[in-house]
Amino acid sequence: MNTYYVYIVTNNSRTLYTGVTNDLLRRVYEHKSKLVAGFTQKYGLDRLVYYESTSDVRVALQREKQIKGWVRAKKVALIVSTNPAWRDLSEGWYGRNI
């Protein structure tokens, strides 16, 4: 059974990006290492502040689309509901910080 993750990454300015992946460790590493060109690389989005998981890829994609459609305040409320300090949830995943 596969697991799919909907996640939100940010930077020091709290710019937000919502994505979906089937390998959260790999995807966060790619964000932190700036391996994929695009929005997250351009704005240095490398801090994981929220994620949720599901075994259904369709549910994950629907949830990603739902969150992306929200106004910023609603996304911030989602993050704060589980991570009020906006700490990097991936801290310590890769040995020393990247």
Whether 5 and 60 have beta carbons less than 8 Å apart is answered as: yes
Of 9 and 96, the structure prediction assigns the larger pLDDT to: 9
Q: How many helices (H) and strands (E) does the chain have?
A: 4, 3
Band (pLDDT 50/70/90 cuts) for residue 1 is confident
Q: What percent of the chain has pLDDT over 90?
A: 92
- What are the chain's domains? 4-82 (3.40.1440.10)
58 — alpha (psi -120 to 50), left (phi > 0) or beta? alpha
Q: What are the tens digits of pLDDT across the range 47-85?
A: 999 999 999 999 999 999 999 999 999 999 999 999 999
pLDDT reported for residue 67: 98
The whole-model pTM stands at 0.95
Report the alpha-carbon distance of residue 64 to residue 81 in Å, rounded. 17
